[in-house]
Chain A
Amino acid sequence: MNSLADNIVGFAQILRQLGVRISIAETIDAVNSLTIIDNFDRDEFRAALKSTLIKNAEDQAAFEQTFNLFFVPPEAKQEQREAWDSKQQLDLEQSQQAQEELVFQGRPLDIPDELRDVYKLLPEMEKQRLQEFLEKTSTGHNVKESFQPVVENLLKSSLSFWQRQLSPEDLAQLAAARRQLLGYDELDHVVDSAAGLGGTGRNPLLYKNMQDIAEHEIPQVTSLIKRLAHRLTTRISRRFRMTGRRKLIDIRQSIRRNMRYGGIMISLKYKTQKIHKPNIVVLCDVSASMTKYVRFTLPLLFGLSSVVKNIESFVFATDLEKVTGYFRGRDDFAQVTEELISSSAQMGQGTNLYIALTSLEAQYKKLLSPSTLLFIISDANTLAPLETAGELSLISKKVKRILWLNTQPKERWSQNSAIPLFSKHCSMFECYSLAHLTKILSLNLTRQS
């Protein structure tokens, strides 16, 4: 990195690695802006880069962290480099150790990189247990070379189990670590340090994993959801209705009304756009695997119900249960939740979405119309995935759209073979935080489609 322009390009590269979308045009703007301001004033320099490279509030924190790590005196940079080199060295040693430990009869096991990374994170005792298992199988009686795929599968299952125990943040970090390397040590150490800091310039609650939400944060979550849901109530349609206000002239009506005056346009008629209020049906998974998200899903149902009039809410696990009545016209969330949890037969049961969808079709056929938006909030862990996909296919032809809000991080979707089946018939989104929800509603519910 020699010139200032090189530094700006490098800085933009780091931000891109952290998920900030920066185009070449914006990088050029950033370089141009530095010819206009006083580069010796750090605050001005920072503001110039921020206003040209960062175009939304969510990326402000990433910018600040990266700026503070990247534009530092040479001695601080040297310290960062040394820390990075040590970390790289440690990671290399751990990888080599994993390579040496995960062997069968002296041959390395074919384990995906992401599971190797999980192995590296395991407690020492668990690593020991797996090594003992490999040792015993390798030296077992009549154990041949052909037995290796079986051992690999057993090990993969075990590591997948441990992967499921990791928090979504750990998983995201693991995934990010694999794709974050730019190949330039002087940039990579900044990417690594900034990625570890996380955070946001806006409400931290927006980015919090909803399984970690505290009791006292629920009112704020509900309030944020209400605000998001408000847009659903007043979506403008492309269709028109008559109005007394001076909006658009309705030529057809004007001509018809003025025939009595011999075609002279004495009385003009106006039209305006209709307010479109979609019918919304929400199916919320409250099975055992979704229990940890109940602090997200119930406020979501409550928030949507309080602002959207045409909404029908259901919970499901082993079957479907209508819960619209619990939420309608109520403003005490705690009381509603208590009543629902104590009286619903579905809470904490196993999941069979196929039965739930069948019940929906059989008992609530009228709800499934071409103006219906069907929301499914679930981690997609269900019995009878093939039958469920078939039922989804049938329903998708009857409703306007099926939006599936999946509380599982995207990194884990590959482990669920049902997800590709379901995705054919609905739009599935990663949704375990309010930020996800904001984006989903913003992108999908403000369309005029």
Chain B
Amino acid sequence: MTSDDPRPPPRRSFFGALGPNELKGLFWQVLVVGIALAVIVFLWSNTVTNLSARRITTGFAFLGREAGMPIADSLLAYNPKDSYLWAFAVGVANTLRVALIGIVLATILGTLIGISRLSANWLLSRLAAVYVEVLRDIPLLLQLLFWYVLMQALPAARAAWRPVEGVFLSNRGLILPAIPIGAPQLWVLGTAVLGFIAFLAIRRWLVAQQIREGKPRPAWPFAVGLIVVLPAAVSFLLGVSWTIEWPQLRGFNFVGGLTLAPEYFALLIALVTYTSAFIAEIVRSGIQSVPHGQWDAARALGLRRSFMLRQIILPQALRVIVPPMTSQYLNLTKNSSLAVAIGYQDVVSVANTTLNQTGQAIEAIALIMAVFLTISLGISFFMNWYNARIALAER
């Protein structure tokens, strides 16, 4: 502002040189930070006094002690003699297990319902609208308790429902046929993952070639070779068996197969159906945000419908869809903490038991918060990266 002014600025004292606005800013900042610090010091000193009065020692030393709590349903091997630290690890694994599978299923279901709401079929779009409206307007915790009650009301193992051969639904949960995964099978799956990564690199190179030469370069032979043929060959050479293990009723319980415990199954259903209602709305508004002219233009070019959807409509819709979708994924992950209400032992439930057993409230809650902040940051980091990739490149 004053750069055109040839006169030297008038001399001021040190604080005067800051100008009235800076001074006011400084005052407010000192005031707010001061209040924040005072509150923290107040809370901290109270806590220290209270802890010493109740003879609670702080610190994470208790993590090494024997937990002694049972965890019924876990991915990682666990027995009550293990330490609290390991119990927490099992809890985190359980949280991740329900959150990751929940996110995948909720995305699929939500996308289907979102598309259904736009269907030209009146009945389908109305049913989808009712689904969304009902699920969105009832608290998740209530839905969770409802599903859990229904699970418990299912018939006993002997009278289990069999919707499909090999699938059992009873008050012991959902039992599915499974392929036992051990070290040899993991090798084959690992090869498939490596093959997929190699395929992505090759496809990039092919696209670059296509841009340079103007000739289409098909990528699918590489996909088949690296993702299907190569792992199959490895499997054959190592002689890995892929027999399906069918669950069977023996006495009062099932043996074999994959068991989804009632608590896990109820939590998964509740999270997936509830979140899918929100995802459906996001998908619908994303698709509706693509201008109608884009459909017309694609049709005028005579493009195939699938190509049109994949290359023209979806990339534009995704720009609108991805940011709100990120918050839904975060919500689902955070909502998995409701597991504590039905006794599925996720990290919150384990921390709660720990808190009741040891009285280490501060440490237990700090651990919950650390776990969720890490997961939240991880998901938003990944989704931001993905969002940046698909965002509109504007000049």
Decide whether A and B are members of one complex.
no
B binding-site residues for A, Cβ under 8 Å: none
A binding-site residues for B, Cβ under 8 Å: none
